Structure 1
C-alpha cells in the first residue's frame, strides 16, 4: 500500500548540504529553519564519496551527526541515494560505467549523471551503497523517506555504451522474440536494413545523414531507455522497501525518455517534481503570441498531477538561477517566491522543499541562489519564506489530501511524444497546441488536468471529464480509438487536431484514408494535406454561426471531406487553393461529439471551441481578471478555491458570495483588491 505525501501537517522545508558547510554552522542553520516554519530537509543525494571514500569502506559519521542534529531540532530528513554522481575512484577503476554519446565519445568524470544504467558493475555498486545506507538509516527516527538518485534522465537521456547496446538487444529479443518480427516492426526492408543475426542489431548509430536513424528503431530506442531507467531505479527501490519498510520512497524528475507514470505505479509511494517557473521564460519561443510566462508552468504541474494526484515538490525555486556557463534567470520580485509556492500547492503539492538553504560558494551552481545568500545574513527571500511557513502552519493541514477539480483534460501519450522527437510532421505540433489550449483555458479561468492515455486506461478514467482535447495523436491504435469511441458514445466531447490517427504503434502508416484509426470517430477523411511554411503563405479559417470570425490556420492544414451525414462543418478555409473546403468539423456520435480541427491550434481557435462545447469556469460566484489563475482543490467536506495573481500590479476581483481566506482568516465579499503577486485561498 502506498504511503501518502503528508498526513498530519503540510510539510515545508529545504534542500540542505551539510557536507558543503563547516559543522559549526549546522545548528544555527537548523534553528533558523525551524524559526521559518520548516519541518523537513533533503540531504545526501550527491555525497557518495563521503559515504564510501574508497571502494568497500563505508563511513557514516558526518551524516549521522547531521541527521541526529536535524532530528533534535524537529526536522525530518529525506535521504537521497547518491547514485547521480558516482565518485572518481569508481569511474577510474570501472570506466565501463561511463555514458557514451551517439558519436561514440565517452563522457568523463567531472560533472554529474556521467554514468549509464546498463552497466552490470554500476548496478552492483549502486545496489551496495543503497543497501549500506538503508541498513544504517532504515530505522532512524529522523529519516522519513528516500529519494532514489536525482532527476533521472536530466542532463542527458540517451545512452550508447557497449552495455547499452547489449541491453537494447536483449530487450528487443524479449519484445519481438524473432528477427522476422523485428524486421517487420522496423520496416527494415526499406533501404535494405534487414537483420539476419541478433549480433547485427544496435541502438541508433551515426549514419551518412547526421543523427538520422530508422524512425521505428528510434521509437523503440525511447521505449527501451524508459524501461531500462525504471529497471535501474527498481534495483534501489526494492532494497529500500526491504530494509526501510516504514519510510516512503520517491524520486524527483519529469525528464525525457521516461514513463514516469509506470515508474510511479511500480516503484514509488508518490512522485516528486522540481519546480522552477522561470524556465518558462528562459526557454520560451520569442515568436509566441501572448505568452503566459511563469503562469504557464502550471501545465507542467498538471502533468505531475497526472502521475500523482498529490505530490511533493523536492526543489522549489527560491531565488535567481543559473550555472556558471548556462542559464541566467533573474531574481524573483517581492512576492513571486510566495506566488510560485502556492502555484505548486494549488496544483496538488502536499509537500514543498525549497532549493536551496544557502547558495553554494563553489562549483557550477554558484549562481543557483537559495533562500540565504553567500553572506548568510537576513534578506528578503528569508523573510518571504518565513511568511509562507507561518501561513502553512495554520492553513496547510486543511489542504493535504484534497484533490484538484477539473472537467476538461488535455490528453497526451508517451508513444507520440517519443515518436514526435524525430518526426517533424507531427512532433512539434503537440507542444504548441498544448500550450495554446492551456492559455485559452487559463484566461477563461477553467482548470484542466493532463491525462496520459496508457494501455491500462479505462472508460471510467475518461468519463470523469466532459471534454478531452487530444491535439495531434499521429500514433493511434484501433484499441485506443475504440476506447475513445466509448467515451464519446456515453456523452463525452472529444477534440482532435491535424495529423490524427494515421500511424500504428510501430510508427508505420496505415494503408487507410486519414485519419486512419480515428476515421469512424470523426466521420471525415483527409482529402489532402500540406505543411504551411517556407514559400507557402499562412492560411486562415472562417468560422460560421455563433463563432463567426476568422482565425489563423497555423503550421499544417488537413483539407477535410465529409463522409457521414452526422458531420457538421463548423469552419472552412478562407484562403489558398482550398478556400471554402472544410477545416473544422463536428460529428455527433451517440450522446457525444467529436471535433476535428484541421490545423495546429492557436489560442483564438481554442477559445472559440471552448465556447462551442459549453466549457465554463467551475466557480460562478466569482468574477476575475485575466491575470488571475483559478484552481480548485476539493476534500471530503470542504472546497478550496486558489486565486493567484501573476501581475505585479494589484487587480480587482468580485465575489458574489461571502468567503473566508484560509491564509489570513479574513472574510471577503463584493469587490476585493488582490495585491501584486497576491494569493487567496477561499473556502
Structure 2
C-alpha cells in the first residue's frame, strides 16, 4: 500500500505554496529564516515552474530547484514537490497549438493564463510524462521530499475541450463504456428529435447547437471530461510511484467550491494517496464559517473518513471575487483550526510570500507586502505555535452525527438546460440543509447515494435529481432497518442517463417515501405559499410546490393556498423500523429548522440546546486520545459544557465541567482517560 502521510512529517503540516522563482536568490535565506520563526514545517514548491525547469525543448535547468530543496532540508522544512503540468511553457504551445482547449463555440483559447489544456492531447500527455519522469528521477532520494503534488486544481479553469482530438477520444470512451452504438442510442434517447446514430464516427462532442442539445449526451461528456483529466493524473501518479516508492502522491481538490463542479471527487478520492483540499471563503454575505465547515466535512468524506490535508487557504483576503475583504483579527486561526477539527492534518496557505507581479499580487500571504511588522505576520507566527501544540491530534478521526447525500453526477444533470424552474438551485438546497444541521451542532459526513449508511441515525437528501435504482433501494433498506431519512423536492427523478424513472415521480424514491407526485408546480418569482400544521401553526415556502398523493405516507403539513392548496406539503412515511420525511416546497429559516427538529426526534438524536449559536463543537479521537475542538465564531464569550476533565492544549489550562471560550477564540481539550 502507498504511504498516505507526508514522509518525515512528525507533527501537523504548517506552511504554504513557496515560489522562490519569483524572487532574487539572495531573498531565499531570509525566507527560510522567517519560515522557521513562523513554525513552518512544509512548503509546496515547483507547481508553476515548467518554463524554468525546461526553458527550451529538451534542455533542463534543475540547479535552482536543487538549491531550494537543499536550503529547505538544511532548515528542517519538508517539501511538497509539484509536477508543473498545469502550466506548459510558451514554447510547448508554439510547437503544439492543438494542445490549447477549444470551447463549445469552436473558439481556441490562447496561451497566457494557467490550466489551458486539452487533456486529450497526445503531445501534452507525452510532455507531461517526460517532465514528471525527470523530476522523479532527480529527486527520488532527496531528503526534503515529503509529498508529490501533481498538477494543480484539476478542472480550474477548464475541464472540457471540444476539439477534434477530444471528439475522437470521446467516441472511443463511448465504445468502451457502452460497447455498441445501439446502446448509446438507448442511453441517450436519440429517437427524440431524430438524433439517432448508426456509427460512432457520427457522434461529436455537445458543441453549440441552435437550441438545447441532447441532455444525456451533455451529461456523458462531463463524465468523459472528468475521466480524461483523471486518466492524466493517474499517468503521472504511476510514474511517481514507480520512481519514488514510499512518497505519497496527491493533487489538490476544491471539493465544495462551485468553481470546480466539473470533478467527481468520489472517483478522484480513490486515486490519490492523501486527499488534500483548497478552500477559500466566498464572501457574499453568508456565514463563511458554515461553508468552511461544509467543505471540510465533504473533504473528509471524500477521504473515506481518514485524515486529509488542507493544502491551500488564505491568511486574509483573496483577489478574484468582486469584493475581497480582509479577514478579521483572529479569523485566520479560527478558519485554520476549524479545518483541523474536521479532519485536516494541518493548515497550509497560498502562499508564503505575497507576489509583487502577476495576477495574484493582491492575494494575501503568510508574509505580506507589509512585512513582519504587520497583523497578518503576527497572527501567522501565533498560528504556527498553535498548530505545533496540536501534534497529538495527528492520525485521529472526526466523529459525525448524520449524513448528507452528495453526488457530482446529479449536480451535472440538474444544471443542464430546460428544467422546470431556473429558481431551483440544488446547491442552495445542499447549503441550506447543511446549515440547519450545523445550527443544531451536528457534525456531518457526506455520502454517495449507494454507500453504506447504516452508521448514521439520520440521512438528509437535499436535492438529488439524478438517482439510480440501486440508490433508491439502498435508501429503502436504510429506512426499513431503522434509519431516519429527510428528502427535499425534485429528488430521485431520473436515472444515470437523465431518463425519467418509469412510472410516477419520484421514481427512485416513491417506495421509501410512500407517495407519488402527479405534477410539479414551480412558483413564479416572488410567489410564496402558506403551509399549515394540524395544530394551526403556519410556515411559508417558495420556489416550488407539487401535487403530492400519499401512498402510505401521512400528511404532516398541508398547503393552505396556491394551486396545490389542500395537498400535502410535508409527509412522513413509517417503513419497517424507520421513517422517511418528504418536503415538497422550499423551506428556509424557521421552517427548515422545524423539519430537521422533527427528523432528529425520530432519529433519537439528543438536542444540544446548551451549546451557543455559532459555537461549533467537534470531536477527533484515536489511539492518542479524544480531542474536543470548540470554536467560537460569535462576538460573545461562551461557556461550553465538557463532560470529562481534560487539558486545554492551546493555553495549558485544565478544563472540567464548563469550558470558557472567549469571543472569536478556539479551545482544544484533550480529554482525560
**TM, length-normalised to structure 2:** 0.94
Tell me by how many angstroms 1:617 deviates: 11
Q: Deviations over 1:26-56 (max 9, x none)?
A: 1121111112111111000000011101111
Misfit runs of 4+, over 6 Å: 616-622
Aligned to 1:182: 184
1:235 partnered with 2:235: yes
Pair 1:252-2:252 in alignment: yes
Give 2:100's aligned residue: 98
C-alpha distance 248-641 of structure 1, shift in aligned 2 (>3 A): same
Q: Which residue of 2 aligns with 1:346?
A: 341
Among candidates 568, 579, 583, match of residue 582 of structure 1: 568
Q: Distance in 1 between matches of 2:352 and 2:295?
A: 24
**Match for residue 87 of structure 1?**
89
Shift of 1:618: 7.7
Aligned to 1:538: 528
Deviations 1:257-279 (A, max 9, x none): 222221221x31111111212x2
| Rounded Cα–Cα distance in structure 2 between residues aligned with 1:620 and 1:207 | 53
SS in structure 2 of the partner of residue 605 of structure 1: helix
Unaligned runs of 5+ residues in structure 1 are 285-290
2:396 aligns with one of 399, 402, 422: 402
The CA deviation at 1:669 is 4.5
Partner of 2:288: 293
CA contact (8 A) 1:437 1:603 kept: no
2:301 counterpart residue number: 306
Please state whether the residue corresponding to 2:631 is helix, strand or coil: strand
- Look up the SS of the partner of 1:623 in the other structure: coil
Residue 677 (structure 1) aligns with = 664
Asked if the contact 2:368/2:376 (under 8 Å) is kept, the reply is no
Q: Distance in 2 between matches of 1:34 and 1:353?
A: 15
User: Matches of 1:233 and 1:250 in 2, distance apart?
Assistant: 9
Structure 2 CA distance for partners of 1:416 and 1:340, relative to 1, 3 Å: same
Q: Give the 3 Å change call, closer, same or farther, for CA 5–386 of structure 1 in structure 2.
A: same
Q: Which moved more, 1:596-605 or 1:198-207?
A: 596-605
Q: CA deviation at 1:70?
A: 0.4
**2:518 pairs with 1:527:** yes
Shift of 1:65: 0.2
Q: Give SS of 1:663's match.
A: coil
RMSD of aligned alpha carbons: 2.1
SS of 2:508's equivalent? helix
Question: Distance between the aligned counterparts of 1:9 and 1:544, measured in 2?
Answer: 56
Please name the residue that 2:591 is paired with.
605
1:181-330 alignment, distance < 5 Å:
181-209=183-211, 212-254=212-254, 255-265=260-270, 267-277=271-281, 279=282, 281-282=283-284, 291-308=286-303, 309=305, 310-323=307-320, 327-330=322-325
The structure 2 residue matched to 1:129, chosen from 131, 137, 145, is 131
What is the aligned partner in structure 2 of residue 412 from structure 1?
A: 406
Aligned partner (choices 531, 549, 556) of residue 561 of structure 1: 549
Q: What's the offset of the Cα at 1:104?
A: 0.9
C-alpha displacement of 1:652: 4.6
Kindly tell me: are residues 429 and 552 of structure 1, through their superposed partners in 2, closer, same or farther at Cα, counting changes over 3 Å?
Answer: farther
Aligned-pair CA distance for 1:665: 1.5
Deviation at 1:557, TM superposition (A): 1.1
1:366 Cα deviation from its structure 2 partner: 0.8
CA shift digits 1:266-325 (9 cap, x unpaired): x31111111212x2x24x6xxxxxx423332211221111111311111121122105xx
Write the distance in 1 (CA, Å) between the matches of 2:261 and 2:493: 24
Separation in 2, partners of 1:618, 1:638: 24
- Asked if 2 retains the 8 angstrom alpha-carbon contact of 1:498 and 1:597, the reply is yes
Cα distance in 1 for partners of 2:497, 2:510 equals 19
8 A Cα contact 2:441 2:608, kept in partner: no
Q: Which residue of 1 aligns with 2:145?
A: 143
SS in 2 for 1:91: helix
Contact 2:404 2:446 in 1 (8 A): yes
- Aligned residue for 1:629, secondary structure, equals strand
Choose 43-52 or 600-609, whichever is displaced more.
Answer: 600-609
3-state DSSP of counterpart to 1:614: helix
Which residue is equivalent to 1:447?
Answer: 443
User: Would the alpha carbon gap of residues 619 and 493 (structure 1) be closer, same or farther in structure 2, given more than 3 Å must change?
Assistant: closer
- 1:333 correspondence with 2:319: no
- Cα shift at 1:653: 4.1
What is the rounded CA distance, in whole Å, between the counterparts of 1:23 and 1:328 in structure 2? 34
1:426–1:468 distance in 2 versus 1, CA, 3 Å: farther
In the alignment, is the contact (CA less than 8 A) between 1:643 and 1:679 conserved in 2? Answer: yes
Structure 1 stretch displaced more, 410-419 or 118-127? 410-419
Q: Secondary structure at the match of 2:545?
A: strand
- The CA deviation string for residues 334-382 of structure 1, in whole angstroms up to 9 with x for no partner, is 1011111111111110032122111100001110120222253332111
Q: Give the corresponding residue for 2:257.
A: none
Distance in 2 (CA, whole Å) between partners of 1:544 and 1:221 is 48
Cα distance in structure 1, aligned partners of 2:494 and 2:587: 21
Moved more, 146-155 or 162-171: 162-171
Runs of 5+ consecutive residues of structure 2 not aligned to the other structure: 255-259
Single out whichever of 471-480 and 113-122 deviates more from structure 2: 471-480
User: Which residue number corresponds to residue 65 of structure 1?
Assistant: 67
State whether residues 413 and 465 of structure 2, in contact with CA within 8 Å, keep that contact through their aligned partners in structure 1. no
Separation (CA, whole Å) in 1 of partners of 2:437 and 2:447: 15
Q: What is the 5 A alignment of 1:12-23?
A: 12-23=14-25
Equivalent pair of 1:2/1:270 in contact (CA under 8 Å): no
1:411-451 deviation line (CA, Å, top 9, x unaligned) = 01122111012154488432122111122112221111111
Which deviates the most, 605-614 or 314-323? 605-614
Specify whether residues 258 and 526 from structure 1 end up closer, same or farther in structure 2 by C-alpha distance, changes over 3 A only: same
CA contact (8 A) 1:295 1:646 kept: no
Q: 1:223 offset after TM fit, Å? A: 0.8
**1:622, distance to aligned residue in structure 2 (A):** 8.5
Residue of 42, 45, 70 corresponding to 1:43: 45
- On the 8 A contact 1:542/1:574 being kept in 2, the answer is yes
CA distance in 1 between partners of 2:217 and 2:269 (Å): 26
1:152 to 151, 154, 160: 154
SS at match of 1:49: helix
When the two structures are superposed, what TM-score results if normalisation uses the length of structure 1?
0.92
State the alpha-carbon separation in 2 of the partners of residues 494 and 672 from structure 1: 34
Aligned 8 A contact 1:250 1:270 in 2? yes
SS at match of 1:29: helix
Larger displacement relative to structure 2 (349-358 or 115-124)? 349-358
User: Counterpart of 1:643?
Assistant: 630
CA distance change for structure 1 residues 53 and 617 in 2, over 3 Å: closer, same or farther?
farther
CA displacement 1:560-596 (0-9 Å, x = unmatched): 11222xx221111121132221111111111111111
Q: By how many angstroms is 1:558 displaced?
A: 1.8
Question: In the alignment, what sits opposite 2:428?
Answer: 432
